[in-house]
Amino acid sequence: MAEFVVAIDGGAGSGKSTTAKAVARRLNFFYLDTGAMYRAVTLKYIQCSGDPDNIEMSLIDKIITDTKIDLRQEDHKTYVYLDKNDVTAEIRKPPVNALVSPISAVPEVRCWMVDKQREVAKGRNVVCEGRDIGTVVFPDAQVKIFMQADLKERARRRLDELTEKKVQVTFAEIFENLRFRDDFDSRRSHSPLKKADDAIVIDTTDLSIDQEITLVENIVRERLENRTRV
């Protein structure tokens, strides 16, 4: 069981990943990048030449049985290893972006991932982000945040991020991908993108990165202080 969990949920580009990484660094917590784990599974499916239009369950079953995913942190940076290979950069590329939502929606994949995520968090203070962290993975998290932002602003942020990484993609492509993922993730039957009833909602549209990080950090520090007093 994890010691103290900060669960940050929200749509793609809402700022949850940037915020989660920074808050974990400031508090010296472990950053659990659940999205990267789903991306790694998606990359494995692509590497195995899986049909992108009709998810092959026999291949999914094989991947779940044979695949090893590791998260390693060095100097506050998370590295993702798929079957002992560093795929940190590869899982952020367009082919994975296009398929990660359908793969993530497969119930067998989600159940497998939830077990892995809880295993990684065991005995640690963690900050984790995703779409069902506060509702499914860690429903008893001490802090739950739900981040949201205007779709155009989220697309702009993602474009800046990918441009910096020298990934060739257009604003229109990103905008449509985010809109598709919002709809798909919210409508899926198993563990949909959903705000936990006790989550604190933060709209980051007009916030700077530092403002949203500091806001979440202060919420966590207050909860930690209250826990110490009790």
The proportion of the chain whose per-residue pLDDT surpasses 70, expressed as a percent, equals: 99
| Cβ atoms < 10 Å from Cβ of 77 | 11
Q: What pLDDT, on the 0 to 100 scale, is given for residue 107?
A: 92
Q: Tell me, what DSSP letter sits at residue 91?
A: G
**What pLDDT is recorded for position 184?**
82
What is the pLDDT, as a whole number, of residue 140?
Answer: 95
Q: What is the rounded distance in angstroms from the CA atom of residue 27 to the CA atom of residue 140?
A: 20
pLDDT score for 62? 96
Along the chain (230 residues), what's the average pLDDT of each consecutive run of 10 residues? 90 88 95 93 97 96 95 88 96 92 92 92 93 93 96 93 88 93 81 89 94 97 83
Walk me through the domains of the chain, giving residue ranges and CATH numbers.
Answer: 4-229 (3.40.50.300)
For 168-218, give the DSSP string.
Answer: ---HHHHHHHHHHHHHHHHH-SSS-S---TTPEEEE-TT--HHHHHHHHHH
CA 217 and chain centroid, separation: 18
**What is the predicted pLDDT for the residue at 166?**
85
**pLDDT per position as a tens digit, 76-88:** 788 999 999 999 9
Residue-level pLDDT at 228: 72
Quote the pLDDT of residue 230. 56
Concatenated DSSP letters of 40-88 = HHHHHHHHTT--SSS--HHHHHHHHHH--EEEEEETTEEEEEETTEE-T
What's residue 161's pLDDT? 86
